Chain A
Amino acid sequence: MITAMTTFAENVGASRIVAGTRIQNPCGHPALSREQDRALRRRIVQTALDALERPVEGPTVFRPERLVV
């Protein structure tokens, strides 16, 4: 699950939680340029894809700045 509300997602028991940017735009940021927004979006989605391959025990938060948890 990609969301800015990571503690919220932990609260309801989501297993793999990718930290998004803000509530209203979790996969990017409208203040960035088109290229920067796209690059941020790619990083976030790539983090989510990588998280799918990792075994987890309980709710785990993955942060896009660190592609390896």
Chain B
Amino acid sequence: MRLELGTFPVAELRFGSETRLDGARLTVDRDAVRRLVAEDLTFSRVDVEIVRPGEACRVIHVADTVEPRIKVAGPGAIFPGTLGPLENVGAGRTHRLSGVAVLSSVEFPWRRVGGVILPTEAIVDMSGPMAAYTPFSETLNLVLVLDLQPDLTDEEYERAVRLAGLKVAAYLAECTRHLPPPRVDVLDLTVQDPSLPRVVYVWQIYSLETYGGQYWYGLRLDNLFPTLIHPNEVVDGALVSGQHTAPNVKHCTWLNQNNAVIEGLYQAHGRDFNFAGVILVRGRYTTVEEKQRVANQAAKLAGLLAADGALVTWESSGNAQMDAILIVQACERAGIKTVFLTTEYGGHEGTDVPLIYHVPELDAIVSTGSVDQRVAFPPMPRAVGGATVRLRPEVGGIRQSATAAIVPDRRTELYCSGHQLGTGRITCLEY
């Protein structure tokens, strides 16, 4: 599978009479986007806003985030199985608009009181002290502000919101179809240097429920058993996010599309080592036996790919870390040198235990930052997405003004701040 990925960097985003790209300036037909999303009658109201890095504003109720991409050559279409037809992707040519993102902002209804498995508030600050905690303070964001028709099912709401972001992302990228990309990267794993060691990427995703899932060619991965995928498929949008619970530690579609591990492995491919492939697994099993079985299978698949080394990431928080650590252990025991990318706990001061589990084979760890250190959002003059934020689902929800100072109880509301894929600015330093 040989894929040419053409990148069009975007430095300016504004509304105008037609959607077009002129150099690095993207103009968007606001009414066209609104009409496109409003075709789906799940939405009672659709607004479209722009927020830019450095602006004194925040986006609330953030659901999914998507990078605009389309396929211009080769089999299949972008976001296969959800937006595009069900056809294998990962070859030909794909265009992307970098530096710009489509954010969906929607407040899903809470239909029961209490618990933490509820779609949770998610906030992006475009400036100020909290901006650095999310990747999307650095992207030009087109925000879809969505209201939902009442009395529909959670499944209908989740699916409609997921599709809305994908539709708009594909629509924006469409204006590049006949343009020459300033940069083209060739993603081809078949060109290898046989003298180099082989490194595999073991990617744990979270998929357990309606508002907490990842989708592979449109299939929610609750029943995923460890399997092989090609990284080019992910570049072409085969892995789509439907994550709305615990948004700080989940991966939106944009993070899947811009997985820094995949990018880094491709850059090193044929130079430092050979990128041997990607193993996709689900985590957060509720018994040790199920966790161990997945770990054993992942290590076996890595062995079948003749891996000398492995990189392991995970998604979510809590006991899913144990699933991932068992994968590290199983790979090491199979003779595969394994590195673990993980957030750490450590308490507010960073002096508490950083991981929930440990095995002797876990001896190479890269930290993607603390999820425990307490932070607070300052007051912000403008909030896009609504007037109030909804906190503390576990006590039934507490509402407060979206433009006031917001003190999260834990860090749940920090959108994508605790993701494990390395795309970001957060790590931990020991001193």
Which residue on chain B has the smallest CB distance to residue A25? B286
CB distance from A2 to the nearest CB of B (A): 14
- Convert A1-33 into 0s and 1s, putting 1 for each residue whose CB lies closer than 8 angstroms to a CB of B: 000111110010000000001111000000000
Do A5 and B319 touch (CB < 8 A)? yes
Do A23 and B286 touch (CB < 8 A)? yes
Q: Which of B286, B322, B356, B357 has the largest count of A CB atoms less than 10 A from its CB? A: B286
CB contact list, B333-362 vs A, under 8 A: 356-358
CB distance from B394 to the nearest CB of A (A): 15
B153 at the interface (CB under 8 A from A): no
Interface size on A, residues (CB 8 A): 10
- Chain A residues with CB under 8 Å of B356's CB are 8
Which residue on chain B has the smallest CB distance to residue A21? B287
- Chain A residues with CB under 8 Å of B358's CB are 11
B429 at the interface (CB under 8 A from A): no
Do B322 and A22 touch (CB < 8 A)? no
Do A8 and B287 touch (CB < 8 A)? no
Which residue on chain B has the smallest CB distance to residue A26? B286
- Convert B167-179 into 0s and 1s, putting 1 for each residue whose CB lies closer than 8 angstroms to a CB of A: 0000000000000
- Option from A4, A6, A7 in Cβ contact (under 8 Å) with B286: A4
Bound together, the chains give a CA A23 to CA B288 distance in angstroms of: 9
Do A11 and B286 touch (CB < 8 A)? no
Do A24 and B286 touch (CB < 8 A)? yes
- Chain B residues with CB under 8 Å of A11's CB are 357-358
Do A6 and B288 touch (CB < 8 A)? yes
Q: How many A-B residue pairs have CB under 8 A?
A: 23
Which residue on chain B has the smallest CB distance to residue A6? B288
CB distance from A37 to the nearest CB of B (A): 16
- Chain A residues with CB under 8 Å of B286's CB are 4, 22-24
- Chain B residues with CB under 8 Å of A5's CB are 288, 319, 322
- Chain B residues with CB under 8 Å of A8's CB are 288, 319, 322, 356-357
CB distance from A44 to the nearest CB of B (A): 14
Which residue on chain A has the smallest CB distance to residue B284? A23
Which residue on chain A has the smallest CB distance to residue B326? A7
Bound together, the chains give a CA A31 to CA B46 distance in angstroms of: 41
Bound together, the chains give a CA A21 to CA B287 distance in angstroms of: 8
CB contact list, B273-327 vs A, under 8 A: 286-288, 319, 322
Which residue on chain B has the smallest CB distance to residue A20? B287
Do B287 and A7 touch (CB < 8 A)? no
Bound together, the chains give a CA A8 to CA B358 distance in angstroms of: 9
Which residue on chain A has the smallest CB distance to residue B358? A11
- Chain B residues with CB under 8 Å of A24's CB are 286
Which residue on chain A has the smallest CB distance to residue B287? A4
Which residue on chain B has the smallest CB distance to residue A3? B288
CB distance from B286 to the nearest CB of A (A): 4
CB distance from B153 to the nearest CB of A (A): 22
Bound together, the chains give a CA A6 to CA B356 distance in angstroms of: 13
Bound together, the chains give a CA A6 to CA B357 distance in angstroms of: 12
Bound together, the chains give a CA A23 to CA B357 distance in angstroms of: 15
- Chain A residues with CB under 8 Å of B322's CB are 5, 8
- Chain A residues with CB under 8 Å of B357's CB are 7-8, 11
- Chain A residues with CB under 8 Å of B319's CB are 5, 8, 23
- Chain A residues with CB under 8 Å of B287's CB are 4, 21-23
CB distance from B244 to the nearest CB of A (A): 20
A–B complex contacts, Cβ < 8 Å, 13 sampled: A4-B286, A4-B287, A5-B288, A7-B288, A8-B288, A8-B322, A8-B356, A8-B357, A11-B357, A11-B358, A22-B286, A23-B319, A24-B286
The 5 closest A-B pairs by CB, nearest first: A22-B286, A23-B286, A4-B287, A7-B288, A11-B357
- The residues of A with any CB-CB pair to B shorter than 8 Å are 4-8, 11, 21-24
- The residues of B with any CB-CB pair to A shorter than 8 Å are 286-288, 319, 322, 356-358
